[in-house]
Amino acid sequence: MPNTNIQAVINFYRSRESIKPGVDLDKDGNVRENIRVINCCLQWEMNQTLSVDEFNRLVTVTCNESAALIVNGDRLLGSVAIEANHQLGRVWKSGRHQEWIEKLIRDLEQGVCFDPLLLREKVLGEPQGGSYYLQDGNHRAIAAGIFLLRSGAMPALRFHIGKQVDKDRFFAR
């Protein structure tokens, strides 16, 4: 039976990306890659919640801006959030990155609810011990992780979770 949620997730994702200045949805490589991966998940569970443990074990995205937050190859969100919280007063590779994380933390402190983050089941070769791979929402997840560290309270987050990843389609590039 075809999964009708795939198109709903793509529409949600495209609407989020379309509000970013300078993003051409048809040409941006990150947008194209995320849509490709969304299509590899045969089932999507919408607006899910996670336990604190599952949240801290999310596998974060490795990108130029967040690479400095990954210590000893540990990409789990709990560890990345500790390092990010430690580095907030310092200069990161991108001042824009630091300012964005600080703004997101202030939003959470004021009770702002983020749009759902996109997760998917992990595939072969991704770090062990993680709950899900964070496909989209890295900055929001790191900010929420810092908020959790500082307040001890899990922010009210929702997740769209891709399951049953078609590995043949996922690894075909």
H or E stretch covering 119 = strand 117-120
> CB-based contacts of 166: which residues, under 8 Å, 6+ apart?
40, 41, 42
User: In whole angstroms, what is the distance from residue 84 CA to residue 70 CA?
Assistant: 9
In the 3-class helix/strand/coil scheme, how is 40-91 assigned residue by residue?
HEEEEEEEECCCHHHHHCCECCCCCCCHHHCECCECEHHHHHHHHHHHCCCC
Residue-wise pLDDT tens for the chain (173 aa)? Answer: 445 588 888 888 888 776 666 667 677 677 888 888 898 998 999 999 999 999 999 988 876 666 667 777 788 899 989 888 888 766 455 556 778 888 999 999 999 999 999 999 988 767 667 889 999 998 899 999 999 999 999 999 999 999 998 888 888 86
Q: Which of 172, 150, 148 is nearest to 58 (CA)?
A: 148
At 2 the pLDDT is 45
Residues 114 and 136: beta-carbon distance below 8 Å: no
At 44 the pLDDT is 92
At 61 the pLDDT is 80
At 127 the pLDDT is 66
User: In whole angstroms, what is the distance from residue 88 CA to residue 90 CA?
Assistant: 5
Bridge partners of residue 59, in order along the sequence: 76, 133
